């Protein structure tokens, strides 16, 4: 499996005119090697040059992790004294002959720390934005990846159903967010969740990315709950909206409008269409109902080993959908100072269309 993934990277480098690639800890490094490292003060870098074994630079304390690697590689270690790091980077550069080469990097992940060591070790090399390679490396999920993502969705849905009985008037957003977080872990999520639970009630629900506060829930509140699980490194990302007591006419109207937008967005994807077409399908339902001004973000984003990754579902995106792409469909309406509604599902592009990985009810959850 990992050899196939390095072959995909090799093909991407050749097609885009790069000589080599370097990555630091994150989804791409894990995807290529199966190894997981935290970003910290001790740099870890994977070097790859087509035709040569991958090379790793890492601290000596990480040696044990390499025993599980199922492919040939070279490794250069350094100790706790920072002055030893340059020698390890230089040894990697000499081993691969990187000086003077055009090297692809991940612009949103490579830190200044690693880049300075790379430049010092290979002063004549050109370190260039390699998004054209990395954005496509993991964008189409295979059968084994989709199996993990389905499990991440199942865990998230089970946790949510166990969470609903905990929702009562008087509970704070903070309390309830912590309760859902605990239930995600109890239901089988990886310890590191894809993102912090978003739980916002009343006027706070009009903020799409609100942070849970000490505000207590009240009768009449709409409550937006945005949560996800991680399973073997793959993420799910869902949103449902609750109402405490009987919804008002306006609350029911915007909830039905968002549901129509979510339905259109989920049905819109299929191979060959633009990512932007998904956004347009969802957005037109909200605009038709007169709430277009209050849908303030894109319809969705790609999902996989990261909570946000390509493809991005905004109207102007001409990227062609392909089988195996996974993305969210999460339209919303947010009325400032009053409340908001969002409904989010995870969708995979199939041979003939699109399939929702999530199947929780999408109507307002009424909490009596």
Contacts of 90 (CB under 8 A, 6+ apart): 120, 121
**Per-residue pLDDT tens listing for the chain (368 residues):** 899 999 999 999 999 999 999 999 999 999 999 999 999 999 999 999 999 999 999 999 999 999 989 999 999 999 999 999 999 999 999 999 999 999 999 999 999 999 999 999 999 999 999 999 999 999 999 999 999 999 999 999 999 999 999 999 999 999 999 999 999 999 999 999 999 999 999 999 999 999 999 999 999 999 999 999 999 999 999 999 999 999 999 999 999 999 999 999 999 999 999 999 999 999 999 999 999 999 999 999 999 999 999 999 999 999 999 999 999 999 999 999 999 999 999 999 999 999 999 999 999 999 99
Domain ranges of the chain: 2-137, 143-367
Say whether the peptide bond before residue 301 is cis (omega within 30 degrees of 0).
no
CB atoms < 10 A from the CB of 226, how many?
Answer: 22
If you write DSSP's letter for every residue of 166-194 in order, what string do you get? G--TT-BHHHHHHHHHHHHHHTT--SS-S
Q: Classify strands 238-244 and 300-302 as parallel, antiparallel or unpaired.
A: unpaired
For residue 332, which of 176, 198, 197, 207 has the smallest C-alpha distance? 207
pTM, full prediction: 0.95
- Tokens at 27, concatenated: 């989804």
Burial class (CB in 10 A: 0-12, 13-18, 19+), 83: exposed
For residue 345, which of 263, 272, 280, 279 has the smallest C-alpha distance? 263
What is the chain's length?
A: 368
pLDDT at position 68, please?
85
Contacts of 321 (CB under 8 A, 6+ apart): 269, 270, 271, 272, 273, 274, 275, 278, 311, 349
pLDDT at position 1, please?
84
CATH code, residues 2-137 = 3.40.350.10
- Tokens at 22, concatenated: 């370097």
* Owner of token pair 């310890």: 191
Residue 345 · residue 358 · CB < 8 Å: yes
pLDDT at position 207, please?
97
Q: Where are the alpha helices (DSSP H) in the chain?
A: 2-16, 27-33, 85-96, 112-121, 131-137, 143-163, 173-186, 249-268, 275-288
Gap between the Cα atoms of 260 and 258, Å rounded: 5
Backbone phi, then psi, for 103, in 5-degree steps? -120, 130
CB atoms < 10 A from the CB of 328, how many?
Answer: 25
Contacts of 64 (CB under 8 A, 6+ apart): none
For residue 63, which of 44, 82, 77, 47 has the smallest C-alpha distance? 77
* Owner of token pair 């942070």: 211
Residue 345 · residue 259 · CB < 8 Å: no
CATH class of the 143-367 domain in this structure: alpha beta
**DSSP character for 321?**
P
């Amino acid at each position: 499996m990992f050899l196939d993934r390095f072959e995909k990277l090799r093909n991407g480098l050749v097609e885009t005119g790069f000589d080599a690639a370097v990555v630091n800890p994150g989804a791409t490094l894990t995807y290529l090697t199966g190894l997981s490292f935290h970003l910290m003060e001790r740099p870890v870098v994977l070097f790859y040059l087509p035709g040569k074994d991958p090379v790793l630079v890492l601290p000596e304390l990480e040696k044990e992790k390499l025993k599980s690697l199922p492919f040939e590689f070279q490794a250069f270690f350094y100790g706790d004294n920072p002055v030893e790091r340059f020698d390890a980077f230089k040894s990697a550069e000499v081993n691969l002959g990187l000086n003077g080469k055009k090297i692809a990097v991940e612009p949103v992940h490579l830190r200044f720390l690693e880049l300075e060591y790379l430049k010092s070790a290979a002063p004549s090399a050109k370190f260039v934005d390699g998004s054209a390679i990395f954005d496509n490396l993991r964008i189409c999920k295979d059968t084994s990846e989709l199996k993990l993502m389905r499990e991440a969705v199942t865990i998230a849905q089970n946790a949510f159903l166990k969470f609903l009985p905990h929702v009562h008037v008087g509970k704070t957003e903070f309390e309830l967010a912590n309760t859902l977080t605990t239930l995600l872990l109890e239901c089988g999520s990886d310890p590191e969740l894809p993102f912090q639970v978003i739980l916002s009630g009343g006027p706070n629900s009009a903020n799409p990315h609100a942070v849970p506060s000490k505000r207590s829930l009240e009768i009449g509140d709409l409550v937006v709950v945005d949560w996800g699980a991680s399973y073997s490194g793959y993420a799910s990302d869902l949103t449902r909206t609750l109402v405490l007591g009987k919804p008002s006419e306006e609350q029911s109207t915007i909830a039905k409008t968002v549901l129509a937008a979510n339905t259109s967005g989920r049905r819109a994807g299929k191979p060959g269409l633009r990512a932007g077409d998904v956004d347009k399908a969802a957005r037109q339902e909200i605009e038709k109902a007169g709430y277009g001004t209050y849908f303030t973000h894109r319809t969705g984003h790609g999902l996989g080993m990261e909570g946000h990754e390509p493809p991005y579902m905004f109207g102007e995106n001409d990227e062609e959908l392909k089988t195996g792409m996974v993305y969210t469909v999460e339209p919303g309406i947010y009325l400032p100072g009053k409340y908001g509604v969002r409904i989010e599902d995870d969708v995979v592009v199939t041979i003939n269309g699109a399939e929702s990985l999530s199947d929780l009810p999408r109507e307002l959850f009424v909490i009596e």
